[in-house]
A and B are shown apart, each in its own frame.
Chain A
């Protein structure tokens, strides 16, 4: 998201929207099997220079395995990986233009912070003074100068994480692979470090591939997100696209919270469709291409998109129904509600608390909920 804030040619900052752009990393039909178990299944991905690409998915869905194949610790059972146009099939880990930050940090316990960070530079054949110069710069960047002489076991979790980052970055790799880089940090440090990561990424212009199972983290960091489950990538898109236009029930449900309603398409008028649902009655919405009358579809509505009012909306307003407030939770900036519809179905809704002296909607009130056609997303998968 950071890059979108900068004034520049849009296609330059979002190369994936340009069909002629050459991807920097191409993953082509890659599968990885351990025995009979398929950890990664037919994944294809294009990642562009300077991106922060987040792989997001639940535990055990194959994120680390995919990253390890990019780093060269695991070789694909099928498919191939190109980095900067070169096939990586026979390139061992120590010759790849990638560096990895490990889930466990993997700091060398017998070396000081300084030596850990210098290790990669020395292996590259840099002279000692030159390496130490670069190390000093890097430690300054991650704010660890006072700790240069300490051993890893004398550091806090957050400091170790920054050493791991510095060690992976100091060689200025073309691609930096980060496996749950912020997993061990508390919420506050995590947020600080997220911005730090973006700052560093922008300073050095490295391409980041970040693995995480924290969707908020993915949303904040990523230029694009790949949502994974059971070894497959289900959707690739910018954070907004993934949130606003999920391509399946799985993605809609996985990212943020969502209310899902089953229904059948009752009528189609150009792109406008009316979907009959048991919970909400007839719902007017925009249908995606290829939907036909009589088809079963799922409607997805985010909790914050419901408008809650005491008074019934004007006669003729589409997509509205009555509901009872069953539960209400005050969360400071927002309040969340659990609402019971006429047929007993519970839906969740949130309202932002914009005014200080509002008369809030409370328990057991009967209210109207309205969900204008654009907020309803039709899912066919």
Chain B
């Protein structure tokens, strides 16, 4: 039978293709040698060196702040958009709005970055704000495209949610705002947690959009890594990448676990 060995072998090759580069990166982050391609024994010196690299630490700190801020803003905006789209029935322009909310998911990042850059530049000319490109503009840019992801997750959760829960709360004497905070929000909270985590990792990973809208003194971690790699891969980049992989893996697993637990509970 073909099935007996073909499927396991194919999936092994597939996973190997995906994960061997990452695995080798992790292994070489513990390489003692200066040369990236030569194994010189086990060591954690590159991790230690990272801690002394002010540029990288600064960029990491900026990335973290940008990630937390934009994930939070994106979660608020995305949830509100999803709520309007699922709960306000049919209103004029609903279809258009649905399309527009999800467009950033399929739009090339270069386009998003470029259009936001043009927006910020013309806003600066017309309104005098944002007066220069930096962390604020990166946060704004990340919030907008991450909000699309959060909106999609929240929307599907809101659609699955039994409408009669909200009606029951109304029936028991709660006004519409109370119902949103007492019932809707807690019920969809797990989806929002995983939406937040997804937004956070997206923001942490983003290089293209950040390169367009960031300014001097506000380089994010991916921007710093990219500029370092252009000068040749050094082993401390491996160590840094390993740490980022760790953070992203944890965030994605937590998001998945939260969603899974919720789907099991109904």
Contacts and interface: CB of A to CB of B under 8 A. Distances in A.
Given A94-B175, A102-B164, A123-B178, A108 B183 contact: yes
A99 B171 contact: yes
A99, A104, A106, A153: which has the most chain B beta carbons within 10 Å? A106
B232 to A, nearest CB: 53
Contacts of B1: none
Contacts of A119: 169, 172, 174, 182
Contact of A92 (B168, B170, B265): B170
Contacts of A108: 165, 168-169, 183, 187
Contacts of B174: 94, 119, 123
B160 to A, nearest CB: 12
Interface in B153-168: 162, 164-165, 167-168
B186 A106 contact: no
Interface residues of B, number: 19
Contacts, number: 64
Contact of B167 (A95, A98, A106, A168): A106
B170 A106 contact: no
Given A106-B162, A110-B187, A123 B173 contact: yes
A171 interface: yes
B164 A106 contact: yes
Contacts of B21: none
Interface string B93-107: 000000000000000
A71 interface: yes
A330 to B, nearest CB: 44
Contacts of A93: 167, 170-171
Contacts of A98: 171
B158 to A, nearest CB: 14
B266 interface: yes
A164 B1 CA distance: 55
B253 to A, nearest CB: 23
A71 B170 CA distance: 10
A86 B174 CA distance: 21
Nearest to B165: A106
Nearest to B170: A93
18 contacts: A71-B171, A72-B171, A93-B170, A94-B171, A94-B175, A95-B173, A100-B171, A102-B164, A103-B164, A109-B187, A109-B266, A110-B186, A119-B169, A119-B174, A123-B173, A123-B178, A153-B266, A167-B172
Interface of B: 162, 164-165, 167-175, 178, 182-183, 186-187, 265-266
In the A-B complex, the 9 residue pairs with the smallest Cβ-Cβ separation, listed nearest first, are A120-B172, A123-B173, A106-B164, A106-B168, A93-B170, A110-B186, A102-B164, A94-B173, A94-B170
Given A99-B171, A102-B164, 20 more contacts: A72-B170, A73-B171, A93-B170, A94-B171, A94-B173, A94-B174, A95-B173, A99-B172, A104-B162, A106-B162, A106-B165, A106-B168, A108-B169, A108-B183, A119-B169, A119-B182, A120-B173, A123-B173, A123-B174, A171-B173
